[in-house]
Amino acid sequence: MNPEPLDKPASVSSELSALEASDFQTAFGEPLEHALDLDTWRPGAELATMYERVQREVSDAVRQEGEMHREIRRQIFPLLKTRPLRPACAGVFKTTVEQVETVHSQLLFNGGVEACDGTIAVHDTLPVTITQIGVSLVSYSGDQGSWGHRLFRRDLRAAGTNAIEETLEMLERRRNRGAVDQPSKRDQLSDLARRGIMAFAERAVLLRKSTAVFRMGHGNPLAYELVTGSGSPQLCEMGCGILRDLVDFGKFVYVPSGPKERELLTIGGALQPLEYAIVDSLRDKLERVAQGHYRGEHWPGAKKSVVQLVEEAGDKVVIGVYRASSYAPPQVFYAHADHAHEAALVAIADSVLQEHRGFPMLIDLADKVCGMMFGGSTFAASTQLAYADAGEPFRYLAERSTRR
């Protein structure tokens, strides 16, 4: 699983900014009223005839993107080294085939790099929600270990004191949760269990279980879930502590699967194979997070931990982008400023092993091992068997789980 970036995900609220009619027209090339007019829609049987429009739109988009890449190389690349408040290591750099081969033989293939990835499986029913969190550590020398934990969440844990009060409290707790087997942004406990704890465990495993010279992670090293505590001041304080330890270690590279920094991916699209760009530090993003999220009597200690993290780590973690092959898309990466060039080289060397993806194969290996150990299918089978043993094999299953 891939933890969330530092920027807070957008959520639906009463403070959404109004979209002008021209915004829709500019983005989609047609007015909103045209898209809402069913007379402009095509019957499903005729969708094949729309291929010409698809072909034209894709061709134009690719051509314009290529023109933009040429302008980025000519005008933007030189600015990365000269703009104010840039990291000292900022700029565009080229690796060589010889450097990649050296990393393969002297670091990657002899177990000098270990990667960690986690996965979450949830079995959500009305009586109990079971969350399974697994983390695996791998290298090209073999599986270095896997660790798992299960959380059992019950809205009703009767203490036998007052049945009426316990029932009312249970109903109130369930009222504040989302639908069964569906995620809910207002359910902080689920968010904490599903993302915050896994983000912590992944980084703890890399720091405390790995013995490799270089460590590789999935996502953003300074995970949003830990900087905010996923709503928990305790997790925030403990999370900031392990993030500071990770930054102190220094020799790491993190590569996310779905980065939201489209501007970086655009810059990366202008890179040639085996090139990388170091663009910025994470200080600004950390400072924006530190300005919010920490209100109330329980947050002073956590707020202090975040401020300390900003001061100690904000300038030390940099963000960049690389391109491993001519076929693959660019990939965003995070690294310590003092080891950013080594981190980029490790990421590129591992990514060229998958020419079509251009993504680190070691992270994919960690994901596969973790999925085999802690995947949802085996987990779901064991929980459903437990319900059958309790005499209720179908009563509490969510509708989606019985649809197939």
Predicted confidence (pLDDT) per residue in 123-137, tens digit: 877 777 888 899 999
Give Cβ neighbours of residue 29 (< 8 Å, ≥ 6 apart).
none
3-state helix, strand, coil in the chain (%, to 5): 50, 15, 35
Answer whether residue 23 shows pLDDT above 50.
Answer: yes
Answer whether residue 200 shows pLDDT above 70.
Answer: yes
pLDDT at 12: 37
Q: Is 89 helix (H, G, I), strand (E, B) or coil?
A: coil
Answer whether residue 374 shows pLDDT above 60.
Answer: yes
Determine the average pLDDT of the residues in 279-306. 85
pLDDT at 5: 45
Give me 235's structure tokens.
């997790």
Which of residues 47 and 20 earns the better pLDDT score? 20
Write down the mean pLDDT value for the chain: 85
Give me 130's structure tokens.
């079971």
Under the banding of pLDDT at 50, 70 and 90, the label for residue 184 is low
pLDDT at 384: 81
Q: For a pLDDT cut of 90, what percent of the chain falls above it?
A: 51
Answer whether residue 175 shows pLDDT above 70.
Answer: yes
262: left (phi over 0), alpha (psi -120 to 50) or beta: alpha
- Residue 71's Cβ-count burial label (10 Å; 0-12, 13-18, 19+) is exposed
Q: For a pLDDT cut of 70, what percent of the chain falls above it?
A: 84
**Which residue from 372, 321, 315 is spatially nearest to 344, judged by alpha carbons?**
321
Answer whether residue 67 shows pLDDT above 60.
Answer: yes
- Residue 399's Cβ-count burial label (10 Å; 0-12, 13-18, 19+) is exposed
Q: Which of 21-30, 282-291, 325-334 has the lowest mean pLDDT?
A: 21-30
pLDDT at 166: 63
Determine the average pLDDT of the residues in 368-374. 91
Answer whether residue 185 shows pLDDT above 70.
Answer: no
d(C-alpha 6, C-alpha 289), whole Å: 7
pLDDT at 242: 96
- Sequence spans of domains, the chain: 33-80, 84-384
Determine the average pLDDT of the residues in 179-188. 58
Which DSSP state fits 83?
A: S
pLDDT at 7: 47
Q: What is the pLDDT of residues 238-291, one digit of tens each?
A: 999 999 999 999 999 999 998 888 899 999 999 999 999 999 999 999 998 888
Answer whether residue 205 shows pLDDT above 70.
Answer: yes
Which of residues 130 and 398 earns the better pLDDT score? 130
Which of residues 92 and 184 earns the better pLDDT score? 92
Answer whether residue 161 shows pLDDT above 80.
Answer: no
Instruction: Tell me the backbone φ, ψ of residue 347, rounded to 5 degrees.
Output: -65, -45
pTM of structure: 0.83
Please, which residues bridge with residue 332 across strands?
321
